[in-house]
Amino acid sequence: MSPRTATIGAARDRPCTLVVCRGCCCGNPRKHPGTDHQWQLDRLRAAAADSGGRLAVRTTDCLGPCDQANVIVVQPSAAGRRGGGRATWIGWAKDDDCTDDILGWAAAGGPGLAEPPATLELQFIRPPGEARTRARGRGRGRARR
C-alpha cells in the first residue's frame, strides 16, 4: 500500500456518520411545528447503537442552509471514502420516510459503497461553500487562478 492510500489510526475504521444539524432552524419545533425533531434524533441514535459500530450520529450547530431545514450530512465510512464516497448533504429531512431512507442507505454502506434511494436523491443539496463557489463562476469550466 502506498503512503498516499494508507489510512492510519482511527480513520481506518471510521463508520458512516450522520451529522444532524440542530442549529437555529433545524430541529426547531417553533419553526417546524409539524415535525417531531426529538423522535427523529432518537431514531437515528438508536440505529447507531444497534449498528455494531458501522454507523455513528452526532449533532452540530447551524450548518448554513436554513431554508432547507432539517439538514443531515451523510459522511462516508473509511471504506466508503476509499470507494470514492464523499459527504452528501440532505435537506428537508423532516419526515419518517426520509429518515427511513437515510438509515437504509447508511446501513447498506452509505456514500461510496451503496447507491442512495432515488427518493432521497431528490433531497440532496449543495454544501454552502460549494454553492458560493459555483455562484462566483468556479466549477463551470472557468480556470482557477
Domain that holds residue 52: 13-143
Q: What is the dihedral of CA 23, 26, 29, 31, to 10 degrees?
A: 100
User: Average pLDDT in the 114-134 region?
Assistant: 85
* Residue 1 lies inside a defined structural domain of this protein: no
Structural domain count, the chain: 1
Specify the residue for cell string 458560493.
Answer: 132
Q: Per residue in 23-66, pLDDT tens?
A: 888 888 888 888 889 999 999 999 999 999 999 999 999 998 89
Domain CATH for 43: 3.40.30.10
Instruction: Report if residue 123 sits inside a domain.
Output: yes
Residue 129 lies in a domain: yes
